[in-house]
């Protein structure tokens, strides 16, 4: 389900309302920009405690979203992203506590020097100011975005979409109440969900009030924000993710890696969507992985050579060109047998969304070639693609996986939500 496919016009009233939200966010961000780490960390821990204390209310709201999602035909992958229970709420609360335990990026000296004329230069990390998020069916992102924004000294404005409306409304209220109890402005975390799609469009128009927009969701949503926004955008990407099983791969190790990458959680952007297998190991590996995937109810979309290597039975259909370019976010996997490492790289370079790509190999030469020639935000060697995650990378929560090449690329943590300023100290120097 995609919330924004083509931009719906924002009415003057919605534009004014969203601009008022952004203006309040800018005012709220000012004291946070100079807050100490102790103040910010205490607020994050208070937010985590509040989420757990209000878990029953959040789950009740989420059940309404889930019921509406099932009625509206949301895919199993999106329903999985949408669902909250006590365990997941504990997980997102713990993610806030992890962020609280991370170093504060604000004030970090990126570089510095003293010029010949005695001027002392420092480049410092500073908050962006107001960060906007437009996303869909992910109530955990509401918390992750708020936590990362707060720690990096930013206010955040959220447009979480109709699918998670009830969940996000309660979560934002819980977070805002906790911030207020800590003596911080509740306007540091706001939502414009009540304004629907026009609210998201109004965010795209709020240049000068919102400093950066981050879209996170399906391809249509991301493309719309990138193409229509006049606010600067950090583009997160869809995950047409590949695993290549090289001729030298340890097939005993390869099988659980592929299974984890596909079935551990299908509705996420770092789940593998295409499996490429070298022809020298296809006859041995494909029957085994196909049987394991069939037990997990994964349907294979396979080319002729791969189907020939897999015994009859199971859920296998002939792959089309569209399959190679598809992010399924479901129990489907495209499978192709390739003649060489070069053919695998060529396939990935053609169809990759630039998110995460992996090679399973025992050849150092093959691994180095794959890493050097595959253009993606994250390249894995002998590991599941599911590790592309801010938490797994030690960044705490993440705002998303950036697939662009400017400013931020890969999992977006605290540093990616800061910009820099130059501070120059002199002793009366004047330029000749």
pLDDT at 243 over 50: yes
The model carries a pTM of: 0.82
Averaged pLDDT of the chain? 93
Predicted local distance difference test score (pLDDT) of residue 6: 45
Predicted local distance difference test score (pLDDT) of residue 351: 96
User: What confidence category does residue 219 fall into, taking pLDDT thresholds of 50, 70 and 90?
Assistant: confident
d(CA 336, CA 350): 14
Per-state percent for the chain, helix, strand, coil, to nearest 5: 45, 20, 35
d(CA 341, CA 3): 39
241-387 under CATH 2.40.30.20, yes or no: no
**Cβ neighbours of residue 173 under 8 Å, at least 6 residues apart?**
none
Predicted local distance difference test score (pLDDT) of residue 283: 96
24-44 pLDDT tens trace: 999 999 999 999 999 999 999
β-pairing verdict for 241-245 and 212-216: unpaired
pLDDT at 2 over 50: no
Predicted local distance difference test score (pLDDT) of residue 400: 83
Predicted local distance difference test score (pLDDT) of residue 8: 53
Predicted local distance difference test score (pLDDT) of residue 3: 42
Look at 357 and 222; give whichever has higher pLDDT: 357
To the nearest whole percent, how much of the chain has pLDDT over 90?
82
Least Cα distance to 134 among 240, 229, 68 occurs for: 229
Kindly report which listed range (35-44, 90-99, 115-124, 229-238) carries the lowest average pLDDT score.
229-238
Topology (CATH level 3) of domain 12-236+399-425: Aldehyde Dehydrogenase; Chain A, domain 1 (3.40.605)
Alpha-carbon torsion, ordered 415, 421, 427, 431, to 10 deg = 140
pLDDT at 344 over 60: yes
Instruction: Give me the mean pLDDT over the 419-432 stretch.
Output: 96
112-160 pLDDT tens trace: 999 999 999 999 999 999 999 999 888 999 999 999 999 999 999 999 9
Predicted local distance difference test score (pLDDT) of residue 313: 55
pLDDT at 10 over 80: no
β-pairing verdict for 356-360 and 418-425: unpaired
**Cβ neighbours of residue 204 under 8 Å, at least 6 residues apart?**
7, 213, 225, 228, 229, 230, 231
pLDDT at 199 over 90: yes
pLDDT at 315 over 90: no
Least Cα distance to 151 among 114, 81, 96, 196 occurs for: 96
158-172 pLDDT tens trace: 999 899 999 999 999
CA 311-248-384 angle, to 5 degrees, is 80
d(CA 367, CA 198): 47
Least Cα distance to 355 among 246, 275, 273, 249 occurs for: 273
How far is Cα of residue 263 from the mean position of the Cα atoms in its chain? 19
**Cβ neighbours of residue 284 under 8 Å, at least 6 residues apart?**
251
64, two tokens: 């309404």
Count Cβ atoms below 10 Å from residue 189 Cβ, excluding itself.
Answer: 29
Alpha-carbon torsion, ordered 147, 86, 3, 320, to 10 deg = 110
User: What confidence category does residue 408 fall into, taking pLDDT thresholds of 50, 70 and 90?
Assistant: confident
Residue with tokens 């100011």: 129
pLDDT at 173 over 60: yes
Per the document, the length of the chain is 432
Instruction: Give me the mean pLDDT over the 232-241 stretch.
Output: 88
Burial of 48 (0-12, 13-18, 19+ CB in 10 A): buried
Predicted local distance difference test score (pLDDT) of residue 421: 96
pLDDT at 178 over 90: yes
Instruction: Give me the mean pLDDT over the 63-68 stretch.
Output: 96
Domain map of the chain by residue range? 12-236+399-425, 241-387
pLDDT at 108 over 60: yes
CATH topology match: 12-236+399-425 vs 241-387: no
257-287 pLDDT tens trace: 999 999 999 988 999 999 999 999 999 999 9
Alpha-carbon torsion, ordered 156, 162, 163, 168, to 10 deg = 40
């Amino acid at each position: 389900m995609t919330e924004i496919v083509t931009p719906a016009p924002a009415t003057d009233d919605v534009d004014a309302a969203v601009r008022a939200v952004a203006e309040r966010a800018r005012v709220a961000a000012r004291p946070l920009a100079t807050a100490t780490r102790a103040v910010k960390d205490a607020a994050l821990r208070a937010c985590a405690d509040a989420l757990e204390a209000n878990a029953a209310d959040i789950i009740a709201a989420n059940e309404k979203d889930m019921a509406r999602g099932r009625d509206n035909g949301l895919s199993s992958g999106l329903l999985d992203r949408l669902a909250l229970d006590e365990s997941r709420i504990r997980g997102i609360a713990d993610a806030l506590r992890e962020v609280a335990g991370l170093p504060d990026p604000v004030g970090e000296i990126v570089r510095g020097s003293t010029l010949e004329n005695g001027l002392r230069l420092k480049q410092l990390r500073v908050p962006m100011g107001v960060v906007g998020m437009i996303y869909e069916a992910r109530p955990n992102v509401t918390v992750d975005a708020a936590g990362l924004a707060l720690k990096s000294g930013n206010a955040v404005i959220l447009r979480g979409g109709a699918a998670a409306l009830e969940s996000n409304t309660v979560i934002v209220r819980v977070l805002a109440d906790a911030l207020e109890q800590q003596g911080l402005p509740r306007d540091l975390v706001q939502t414009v969900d009540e304004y629907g799609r026009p609210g998201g469009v109004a965010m795209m128009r709020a240049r000068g009030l919102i400093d950066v927009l981050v879209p996170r969701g399906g391809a249509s949503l991301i493309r719309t924000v990138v193409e229509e926004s006049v606010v600067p955008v950090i583009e997160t990407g869809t995950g047409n993710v590949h695993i290549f099983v090289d001729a030298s791969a340890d097939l005993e190790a390869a099988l659980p890696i592929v299974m984890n990458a596909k079935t551990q959680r299908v509705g996420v952007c770092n789940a593998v969507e295409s499996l490429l297998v070298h022809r020298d190991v296809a006859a041995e590996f494909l029957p085994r992985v196909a049987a394991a995937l069939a037990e997990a109810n994964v349907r294979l979309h396979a080319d002729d050579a791969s189907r020939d290597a897999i015994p009859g039975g199971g859920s296998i259909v002939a792959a089309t060109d569209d399959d190679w370019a598809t992010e399924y976010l479901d129990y489907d996997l495209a499978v192709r047998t390739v003649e060489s490492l070069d053919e695998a790289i060529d396939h990935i370079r053609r169809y990759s969304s630039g998110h995460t790509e992996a090679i399973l190999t025992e050849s150092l030469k093959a691994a180095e070639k794959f890493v050097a020639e595959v253009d993606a935000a994250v390249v894995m060697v002998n590991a599941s693609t599911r590790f592309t995650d801010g938490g797994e990378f030690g960044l705490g929560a993440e705002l998303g996986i950036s697939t662009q090449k400017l400013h931020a690329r890969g999992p977006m943590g605290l540093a990616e939500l800061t910009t820099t300023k130059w501070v120059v100290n002199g002793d009366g120097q004047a330029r000749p």
